[in-house]
Amino acid sequence: MDLIYDILVIGGGPGGIGVAVESKILGIEKVLLVEKSDNHSQTIRKFYKDQKRVDKDWQGQSVALDGNIDFFDGTKESTIDYFDLLLDNHLIDAKFNCEVDKVIKMNDIFEVYTNCGNFLARNVVIGVGRMGKPNKPSYTIPPSLKTQVNFNLDKCGNNENILVVGGGDSAVEYACELSQSNKVTLCYRGANLTRPNPTNIEMFDKFVSEKKLTPKLGIDIESLENEHGKVKVIYTDGKNQIFDRVIYALGGTTPVDFLKKCSVSLDEKGEPIFDENYETKIEGLFIAGDIAFRSGGSIAIALNHGYRIVTHILNKD
């Protein structure tokens, strides 16, 4: 507890890594990154399919990198390797399997409470992402269908009849990937897909025209039922279909309870309040990455947050 870190970063995703690496590059030495899982980048490891194409301009957002960390198109694997390299090259002090419970500011110093001990820091950056709790549909998922209703591809096999639900890049990528070895339908409530980037729209159109993928656009789902162990999907037009598996790709939720435990002020929609430097109402407490970006951030955006936060901290000192 004696050591006071200049910056303690909560979460080892692109946002947290960006802060830690920029700090070292810009000359801040006493930096600690704490990650609750056994390795960094859990969203990438858990929600990206193997060999997934990683686009720098995710969701069609063209992003110019502001800081010292480069980022480029690649794959899930090359992106993880790249982050490994950044952490190694810049000798980032990282604690894994270390989950932060809460942060309290006392006399200008933050006390960070974790399951691997408590730490002191002058500045704390919260970069815990949104995928700790993926978005769920408003209707109830029958508990008996827990194995067949998923939020990533971990449980998928081959030769299944699968419904992917969602209208963004991840839904399109999941659907196209699964359709290589399964019968796949993509359901989205909008009449057209507008959110995915041009590459994914093109891929979607190609798969549909080659009849590898069935689109079900402009219709929503009313409820799910268990039909002899399979998923009966009931649509808002009263029709239904039976699937072996349903996969929701609807993004993630704001970790409201955690933010409250860190005393971060929230707006009326439950989103964190912060200024142009990502600083919350508590001086020295920052928000980085997806939780600072309402409609789905990206790796490049998260890296830019890190640069902005670290330069702001340096300018204050």
Encoded tokens for 138: 């408003």
Which range, of 7-15, 186-194, 203-211, 222-230, touches ligand FAD by CB under 6 A? Answer: 7-15
Among 9, 21, 32, 36, binds ligand FAD (CB under 6 A): 36
Q: Which residues contact 118 (CB under 8 A, 6 or more apart)?
A: 1, 111, 112
Secondary element (H or E) of residue 183: strand 183-188
The overall longest dimension of the chain from CA atoms, in Å, is 65
Residue with tokens 């409201």: 256
Residue 177 binds ligand FAD, judged by CB under 6 A: no
Q: How far is the CB of 90 from ligand FAD (least distance, A)?
A: 17
Residue 92 binds ligand FAD, judged by CB under 6 A: no
Cα separation, 177 vs 180, whole angstroms: 6
Residue 87 binds ligand FAD, judged by CB under 6 A: no
Residue 298 binds ligand FAD, judged by CB under 6 A: yes
Residue 168 binds ligand FAD, judged by CB under 6 A: no
Which range, of 28-36, 82-90, 116-124, 264-272, touches ligand FAD by CB under 6 A? Answer: 28-36
Among 23, 42, 123, 148, binds ligand FAD (CB under 6 A): 42
For residue 15, the tally of other CB atoms under 10 A from its CB is: 34
Residue 11 binds ligand FAD, judged by CB under 6 A: yes
Encoded tokens for 211: 């009849």
Bridge-based pairing of strands 93-95 and 149-150 is: unpaired
Encoded tokens for 207: 């798969």
In the complex, the residues that contact ligand FAD under the rule CB under 6 A are: 10-16, 34-37, 41-44, 47-48, 54-55, 58, 99-100, 127-129, 131-132, 170, 258, 289-290, 297-300, 302
